[in-house]
Amino acid sequence: MALPALDSPNWQGTAAAFALGLRSVVSTILTLVLFATYIGIGALAHDTHFSLFWALASTLFVWAGPAQIILLSTLGSGATVIQAALAVAVSAIRLFPMVVSVLPMLRMPQTRKRQLILPSHFIAVTLWVECFRLLPQVPRERRIAFVNGLGSGLVAMSMTATLIGYQLAANLPSLFGAAILLLTPLAFLLSTARNCRQLSDVVALVLGIALFPLVSLLHTGVDILISGVSAGTIAYGVHRWRRRP
């Protein structure tokens, strides 16, 4: 679905921008990936003996597939609420750079902090990728409403998939459920590759993929973090070097 031109009258009013954001949910293949992923999360919630209410609440309030898997698996294995909260909090740290990179695209001089609370909650891998793809086509004064619409649509779709997965859990093979959960990192990798615009982006992605198998041999327990930070630092150095006069 193509968005209207920046000067189109279709952008008049926050309600129209919200509706366009809601409609944009169907314009990305990541929606299908999310749907399949949350079917798996719904099945996991059933298998770990969570009620349907708490399964849906985790999708609504946590809104991050890996963090929800950690929450469900840790509480399901008998961990305390504090232990589960700490594990989810550590997992959520990875979203902080995404929030920091998206909020400047939404903020205007007159924007109030409370207007950014809901968009900040919606920013996860899928929304982060789609913001970089779609926001350049959205007037800056309508971007918050647009992101709220897009985020609301993605969350609603994910809650629907959670419900379906929960109800199908009795007939969903465990191997199939595990395979579904792999769709999110694979889709994120492909979307990141598609959105590479500069040499530094390509260097970071390629080095991150190349370094991970080597770093994993060290068995540090934080292999992804080490390879990602190393690749990103090198890519930043390449970017600064190319900008030198």
**Per-residue confidence in pLDDT tens, the chain, 245 aa:** 678 888 888 888 899 999 999 999 988 888 887 888 888 788 888 878 888 999 999 999 988 887 888 888 788 778 788 888 887 888 788 788 889 999 999 999 999 999 999 999 999 888 988 998 899 999 999 999 999 999 999 999 999 999 988 887 766 666 766 666 666 667 667 766 766 777 888 888 888 889 888 888 888 766 777 888 888 899 888 888 888 76
Reported residue count of the chain is: 245
Entry pTM:
0.74
Closest CA to 194 of 135, 130, 121: 130
CA distance 123 to 109: 21
Ramachandran region of residue 49, left (φ > 0), alpha (ψ -120 to 50) or beta?
left
What does the pLDDT read at residue 12? 87
Helix (H) or strand (E) holding 56: helix 52-61
Our CA angle for 174, 176, 178, nearest 5°, is 70
Please, what sign has the CA dihedral across residues 32, 179, 162, 164?
Answer: positive
CA distance 105 to 100: 10
CA distance 25 to 2: 12
The two tokens of residue 106 are 């939404």
Closest CA to 33 of 170, 127, 169: 127
Buried residues in 2-24 as b, exposed as e (16+ CB within 10 A)? ebeeeeeeebeeeebbbbbbbeb
> What is the secondary structure of 88-140 as a DSSP string?
HHHHHGGGHHHHHHHHHHH--TT--GGGGHHHHHH-SHHHHHHHHHHGGGS-G
CB 159 within 8 A of CB 129: no
What does the pLDDT read at residue 1? 62
CA distance 156 to 171: 24
What torsion, rounded to 10 degrees, do the Cα atoms 63, 68, 69, 71 define?
A: 170
For 179, residues 6+ apart whose C-beta sits below 8 A from its C-beta are none
What does the pLDDT read at residue 183? 63
What does the pLDDT read at residue 174? 66
CA distance 212 to 245: 33
